[in-house]
């Protein structure tokens, strides 16, 4: 019995100890939860029963350099629902669907979701929000948000960019400075139970967002208008694939204006084709610059003392480098001329000579120093670096072609930056878009300073190059860029377009002009690039230079730059190439592709005017074979006679074209190529001028380059004849 009693007491003791241990553990656990984890668990509980509805902040305003508002944010109501508050979702859906222009069934599905809140429609029109306020549907609420408003819908849209539905920057400055502009978002706090149902006296609070900072751009609204106006004019006249104009301050690198065509409406950007707004041609489009690149060649030669302005050259019309013949744009060449005249008349053999004197190492030194082959650092997404042949792989032929702006690809922003480096005395500047950042009260929080990248040449050399480029405008190929009352310097450029699979595409050119003024103290630099103008006129001095002239003239007047009344454009329209007025035989260009016809006329020193929008010359005045003075203008009619559907199409003269050029031309006319052999077009059947139906096969015999042209043995060779020629 005693043993049994002791055993019972022991068991009771252990049971009592276990009880107290469990109680102590429970007390400890309660204390741990209450005092150690209390704040954390309370926060988690709030997260379960509270839901945040984010409210975006009002983005900062964007101003031009003079304080003019370019982009702002305007209030716009957004509609959201708290589903558990909607007692009759079908009735509310039927009531709101017509107001919100939504499908009633889709709206019903939104209102019956098991959630604490649902967006119904963001940023509705004022009349829609007013109607909802009038109807007061249960469970439906409005919150004030903001949407971006571009005061001038098509003013610099590629530069300014645009935002998405959540006010996030998607392109341009809006994207580059999104963190600066977007501000701090607010929120709506909504309380519910675990099942998403209403709780007694629920919390429903609104925490206001904080507005973002504002930007003051380097861009000038008025200068941008000048650019937009002139781009519209050139598009209406020449219908190019792309057109770009950039205006910069050479001393600081500030971008005063940047325009592209085609363009779009910033307030309705989603309605424009993606390819229009997806990329900014001013910083993305790679093209062979042609003779505008001769600015770099001249700068390198002058800086390295490889040539003096008075040094003499002889241009027979071509120069042989390795196994290639590179021809001057002027038939027969320029003869004897100084380097000053080489630059003035854009003489290809002269520039090739000085580039080869420099050698590969020194030539590449300046190509790299001027920033080609690398991004400029402009604060916009999508910038291209251009294309430069690797120095290790470059041959003398590469140096020769690069010297005249071929075998190298640049972007418009690179070219205008290089132009500014010459204009300001030899310093390459980083393109500058933003001058100041201001907070919501207007206080300046950051001032942006001009950023020199590197010194590319000394001031004395830059001044010599400026003088050479001034002659180009005053007496050379750039006369159409002359601005009365100001000393203007610049360079024209015309180059063929490189095809996707290599080689040059027949009839497709890029016309460009780059320059600055006044020469003595440059205030403005302008680069104009017109890609693939239509109508047979594609020379930089004819298409791009007048755009430059109009922008430069209005900009200088707007900036209040004093005029020199003694600076008047020379009256002789032929003085730019100093050709004597002589009798010439007008070549027969009927049935030729328009680009070939223009080459033949220019080879004889004749000017031309086109009528119509076709690609073949159907008639000309004066007629082929006629004798005329060299200053006569030949009228080329590009309109097919009669009704094309009844009379068919006219077979063009294909002599001397490459197979790729022939195929492209015939496909455009609805004809089929039947090729024989390789090389350049030698004979064809049906013959030029024949009327045939669309779909007819044209048999063309091709022979190796150098064989000649049976149909026109005296025609001046260009790219199609086995040589290299840059038009200017």
Q: Does residue 63 contact residue 217 with C-beta atoms inside 8 Å? A: yes
Do residues 727 and 596 touch, judged by C-beta distance below 8 A? Answer: no
Distance CA 532, CA 204 (A): 60
For residue 686, whether the previous peptide bond is cis, meaning omega lies within 30 degrees of 0, is yes
- Which candidate, 431, 485, 497, 421, places its Cα nearest to that of 454? 421
Nearest-angstrom CA–CA distance, 466 and 183:
46
Contact 545, 478 (CB under 8 A): yes
310 contact partners, CB below 8 Å, separation of at least 6: 338, 339, 340
For strands 50-55 and 186-191, give the pairing. Answer: antiparallel
| Sheet-wide strand order for 186-191 | 50-55, 186-191, 204-207
> What's the rounded Cα separation, in Å, for the pair 151 and 148?
10
141: three-class secondary structure by DSSP: strand
59 three-state secondary structure:
coil
Q: Which two tokens stand for residue 512?
A: 């460009």
SS3 444: strand
129, 266, 291, 407: which one is catalytic?
A: 291
Residue 305 is encoded by which pair of tokens?
Answer: 């003392």
> Cα separation of 673 and 692, whole Å?
13
Sign of CA dihedral 364, 365, 369, 373: positive
Q: Tell me, yes or no, if 291 is annotated catalytic.
A: yes
Instruction: List 230's β-bridge partners, or say none.
Output: none
User: Which single residue is written with the structure tokens 């509609």?
Assistant: 79
Please identify every residue annotated as catalytic.
291
């Amino acid at each position: 019995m005693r043993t049994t009693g002791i055993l019972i007491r022991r068991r009771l003791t252990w049971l009592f100890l276990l009880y107290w241990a469990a109680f102590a553990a429970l007390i400890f656990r309660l204390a741990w939860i209450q005092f150690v984890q209390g704040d954390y668990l309370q926060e988690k509980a709030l997260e379960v029963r509270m839901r945040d509805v984010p409210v975006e902040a009002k983005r900062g305003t964007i101003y031009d350099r003079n304080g003019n508002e370019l982009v702002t944010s305007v209030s716009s109501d957004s509609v959201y629902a708290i589903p558990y508050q909607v007692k009759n979702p079908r009735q509310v859906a039927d009531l709101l669907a017509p107001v919100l222009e939504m499908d009633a069934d889709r709206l019903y599905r939104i209102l019956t979701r098991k959630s604490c809140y649902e967006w119904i429609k963001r940023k509705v029109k004022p009349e829609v929000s007013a109607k909802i306020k009038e109807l007061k549907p249960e469970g439906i609420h409005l919150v004030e948000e903001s949407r971006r408003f571009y005061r001038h819908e098509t003013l610099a849209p590629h530069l300014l960019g645009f935002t998405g539905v959540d006010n996030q920057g998607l392109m341009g400055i809006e994207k580059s400075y999104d963190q600066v502009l977007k501000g701090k978002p607010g929120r709506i706090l909504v309380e519910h139970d675990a099942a998403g149902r209403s709780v007694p006296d629920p919390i429903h609070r609104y925490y206001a967002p904080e507005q973002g900072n504002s930007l003051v751009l380097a861009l000038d609204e008025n200068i941008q208008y000048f650019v937009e106006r002139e781009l519209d004019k050139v598009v209406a006249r020449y219908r190019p694939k792309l057109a770009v104009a950039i205006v910069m301050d050479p001393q600081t690198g500030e971008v005063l204006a940047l325009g592209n065509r085609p363009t779009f409406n910033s307030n309705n950007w989603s309605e424009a084709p993606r390819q229009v707004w997806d990329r900014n041609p001013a910083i993305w489009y790679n093209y062979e610059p042609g003779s505008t690149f001769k600015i770099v060649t001249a700068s390198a030669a002058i800086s390295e003392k490889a040539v003096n302005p008075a040094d003499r050259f002889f241009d027979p019309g071509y120069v042989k480098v390795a196994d290639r013949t590179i021809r001057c744009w002027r038939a027969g060449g320029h003869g004897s001329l100084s380097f000053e005249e080489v630059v003035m008349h854009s003489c290809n053999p002269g520039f090739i000579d000085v580039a080869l004197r420099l050698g590969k190492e020194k030539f590449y030194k300046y190509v790299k120093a001027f920033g080609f082959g690398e991004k400029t650092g402009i604060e916009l997404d999508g910038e291209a670096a251009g294309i430069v042949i690797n120095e290790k792989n470059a041959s003398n032929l590469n140096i020769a072609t690069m010297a005249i702006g071929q075998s190298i690809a640049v972007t418009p922003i690179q070219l205008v930056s290089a132009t500014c480096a010459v204009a300001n005395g030899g310093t390459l500047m980083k393109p500058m878009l933003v001058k100041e950042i201001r907070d919501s009260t207007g206080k300046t929080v950051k001032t942006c300073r001009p950023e020199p990248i590197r010194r590319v040449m000394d001031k004395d050399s830059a001044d010599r190059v400026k003088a050479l480029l001034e002659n180009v405008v005053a007496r050379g190929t750039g006369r159409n860029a002359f601005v009365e009352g100001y000393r203007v310097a610049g360079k024209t450029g015309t180059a063929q377009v490189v095809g996707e699979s290599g080689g040059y595409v027949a009839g497709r050119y890029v016309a460009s002009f780059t320059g600055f003024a006044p020469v003595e103290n440059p205030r403005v630099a302008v680069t104009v690039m017109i890609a693939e103008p239509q109508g047979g006129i594609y020379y930089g001095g004819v298409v791009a230079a007048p755009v430059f002239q109009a922008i430069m003239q209005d900009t200088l007047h707007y900036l209040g730059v004093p005029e020199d009344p003694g600076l008047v454009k020379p009256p002789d329209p032929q003085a730019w190439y100093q050709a004597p007025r002589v009798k010439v035989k007008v070549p027969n260009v009927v049935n030729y592709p328009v680009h070939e016809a223009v080459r033949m006329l220019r080879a004889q020193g004749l000017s031309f005017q086109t009528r119509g929008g076709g690609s073949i010359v159907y008639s000309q005045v004066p007629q082929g074979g006629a004798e005329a003075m060299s200053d006569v203008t030949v009228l080329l009619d590009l309109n097919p006679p009669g009704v094309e559907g009844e009379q068919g199409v006219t077979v063009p003269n294909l002599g001397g074209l490459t197979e790729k050029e022939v195929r492209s031309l015939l496909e455009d006319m609805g004809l089929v190529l039947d090729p024989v052999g390789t090389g350049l077009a030698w004979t064809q059947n049906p013959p030029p001028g024949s009327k045939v139906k669309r779909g007819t096969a044209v048999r063309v015999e091709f022979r190796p380059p150098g064989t000649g042209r049976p149909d026109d043995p005296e025609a001046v060779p260009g790219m199609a004849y086995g040589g290299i020629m840059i038009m200017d």
